[in-house]
Amino acid sequence: MRSRSLLLGVVLALTATVMGAVPAQSIVGGTESTRAYSFMGSFQPSFPAPPRPDKHGCGVEVLAPQWVLTASHCAGKNPTGARVGVPRGWKVRIGSLDTTSGGEVAEVDHYYRLATNQDEGGFWGKDLALMHLRTPVRAKPVRIAPTTPPDNTPVRIMGWGMMCDDSDNPACFPTRLREADTVVQPISTCPVAAPSGELCIGSRDGGVAAGNMDSGGPALVRDGDRWALAGVVSGPGGDGAPTLYTDVTRHADWINGIITGTNVPPDDRIPNVEGAVQLYGCVGSVVRTPVSRPQDPALMLTNGHCVQGQRPAPGTALVDQPADRDVPIADRQGYPQATARANRLVYATMTGTDIALYRLDKTYAQLTAEGAKIFRLTSTPVRAGDPLTMAYTSSRLHCTAEAVVTHLREGGYQQDDSIRYTAGEDCAPWPGTSGSALLAPDGTTVVGIHNTHNVAGEQCTDDNPCEVGPDGAVTSVQGRGYGQQVHLIAACLTKGSKLDLSRQGCTLTGAMP
């Protein structure tokens, strides 16, 4: 699939979303709206929360008293990326010029995505989602335009997108609705357009267009004396070009089938992802050892290469260093069951194994009281033939330990007794799965940790691990995935979640002889 940016409604470093350069302004070339549109709304999810004070993430349009339309990639911010399901903490504000007050506020209790990133052929031209509201709103809905608007048709666009590029600057996030009048351009004006299903809207030079966090917002055409909905913001049309909108008119049957109840797709089966910690680019899990006590500070396990800042150098370990990172511990559906902060990096290495341990600001007892999943850390090694479940934040991959590799080398690092997975569709890790716990069949014991796979088939380079046998023979196979042993951790920990590298039986890198 061609790589194309989305005009994302939630600005987060999520590995499942195609990211890239986006326009820097809200409704580029637009002005503040002087009157409210009853059907126009702001989608404001609490998870994942948009990085702006008003929590605006995307635009929505009211199509019926309990139905709003937005972009599929906006509703794709559910933890498991499901097509159809029940969200948590999603709301919309309808019919107000301001994202912080006025209008009507309603909770979203279901979402239906027309297409997802994983669909064969992608979702370009099908970037739509319906969201059902728990209670009806009084706002007057907008009609869907009867046909695709031809080139040069006048259109009105609007939204609350970013005014500048700095996501840390509150001034970049307008709370007042902005709009602009423009036209439908020939599809060739947007150089990255799909063959069909998209509208190219804005000025030819991009001087009037939708911007970042305008996703899901409307392209309106006149239908008699009323507005009608022709398109929904999907993604940029190219550098210095108009914006791509999904052509809503092509999908009226899908929309009406759901709204009328005549063709409603079933909910997706959501995998149980309880206990996974989203570290944005990596994964973690809260673990306890046989000596852990309820009053001890909890520990989080991830990869050594997932630490913030400088990674541990080959042959070394990082010990007892300050840390400050969020630790959201997922419930069964991937929403945060409990949250904590990692306030100390207890240990990290990429030599011998690839692990990092963080101490949290909550005890095991506190997290248990909040309903968080806490895993047991094994004290026995993984062996060839052992079944494994890779605990990613949005799925569970089912793997088998095909072999235990004497040495694994990658980019100047070497790990020992690494776990090679049997190749197969059920076990195909990708970038971003690093740090995922490898679970025993009981689902509660962490026996290993995923850390790498060979991307390009190269030997021993970054992202291309190679195996080194007892005889020194080097092999590398594109696509092979590997995990690391964690059984040596328990011998180095004491009560109070403290590290003791001088403890008898401790063999981690840096252990004292």
Do 217 and 230 meet the contact criterion of CB atoms below 8 Å apart?
Answer: no
pLDDT value at 14 more than 80: no
Q: Are residues 306 and 194 in the same domain?
A: no
pLDDT value at 237 more than 90: no
Residue 258 DSSP label = H
Last residue of one domain, picked from the residues 198, 230, 259: 259
Q: Are residues 323 and 180 in the same domain?
A: no
Q: What is the pLDDT of residue 25?
A: 46
* Band of pLDDT at residue 238, cut at 50, 70 and 90: confident
Last residue of one domain, picked from the residues 227, 259, 291: 259
Q: Are residues 242 and 351 in the same domain?
A: no
Q: What is the pLDDT of residue 423?
A: 85
Which tens digit of pLDDT belongs to each residue from 49-108? 888 999 999 999 999 999 999 999 999 888 988 999 999 999 999 999 999 999 999 999
Is residue 14, in this structure, part of any structural domain at all?
no
Q: Are residues 219 and 327 in the same domain?
A: no
Average confidence score pLDDT of the chain: 92
Pairwise pLDDT comparison (423 vs 288), residue with the higher score = 288
Is residue 299, in this structure, part of any structural domain at all?
yes
Query: How large is the average pLDDT for residues 13-42?
Result: 66
Which tens digit of pLDDT belongs to each residue from 92-109? 999 999 999 999 999 999
In degrees rounded to 5, what are phi and psi of residue 43? -85, 125
CB neighbours of 215 closer than 8 A, spacing ≥ 6?
6, 7, 8, 9, 58, 59, 70, 71, 73, 74, 233, 234
Q: What is the pLDDT of residue 6?
A: 61
Is residue 116, in this structure, part of any structural domain at all?
yes
Q: What is the pTM of this model?
A: 0.82
Is residue 13, in this structure, part of any structural domain at all?
no
Cα–Cα distance list, 64 to 157, 359, 451 (Å): 20, 49, 47
Q: Are residues 118 and 163 in the same domain?
A: yes
Cα–Cα distance list, 188 to 191, 204, 220, 236, 408 (Å): 6, 10, 21, 13, 49
Is residue 333, in this structure, part of any structural domain at all?
yes
Cα–Cα distance list, 120 to 74, 117, 244, 270, 429 (Å): 19, 8, 20, 20, 19
Q: Are residues 284 and 255 in the same domain?
A: no
Give the count of domains, the chain: 2
Which tens digit of pLDDT belongs to each residue from 356-399? 999 999 999 999 999 999 999 999 999 999 999 999 999 999 99
Q: Are residues 241 and 288 in the same domain?
A: no
pLDDT value at 11 more than 50: no
Render 146-172 in DSSP notation, one character per residue.
Answer: SSPPPTT-EEEEEE---SSS-TT-GGG
* Band of pLDDT at residue 276, cut at 50, 70 and 90: very high
Is residue 3, in this structure, part of any structural domain at all?
no
Q: Are residues 368 and 430 in the same domain?
A: yes
d(CA 104, CA 96): 8
Q: Are residues 235 and 90 in the same domain?
A: yes
Q: Are residues 490 and 368 in the same domain?
A: yes
Last residue of one domain, picked from the residues 217, 234, 259: 259
Buried b (16+ CB within 10 A) or exposed e, 411-437: eebbbbbbbbbbeeeebebeebbbbbb
d(CA 398, CA 333): 18
- How is residue 107 written in tokens? 């909770």
Is residue 26, in this structure, part of any structural domain at all?
no
Query: How large is the average pLDDT for residues 417-429?
Result: 93
Query: How large is the average pLDDT for residues 188-197?
Result: 87
CB neighbours of 513 closer than 8 A, spacing ≥ 6?
none
Q: Are residues 324 and 467 in the same domain?
A: yes
Strand partners, 111: 85, 131
Sheet strands (E) in 331-395 = 336-349, 355-363, 375-377, 387-391
- Percent of the chain exceeding pLDDT 90 equals 84
Cα–Cα distance list, 403 to 17, 264, 418, 443 (Å): 33, 46, 8, 21
CATH (domain of 298):
2.40.10.10
Q: Are residues 249 and 295 in the same domain?
A: no
pLDDT value at 21 more than 50: no
Is residue 504, in this structure, part of any structural domain at all?
no
Domain extent at residue 362: 276-499
Query: How large is the average pLDDT for residues 252-275?
Result: 96
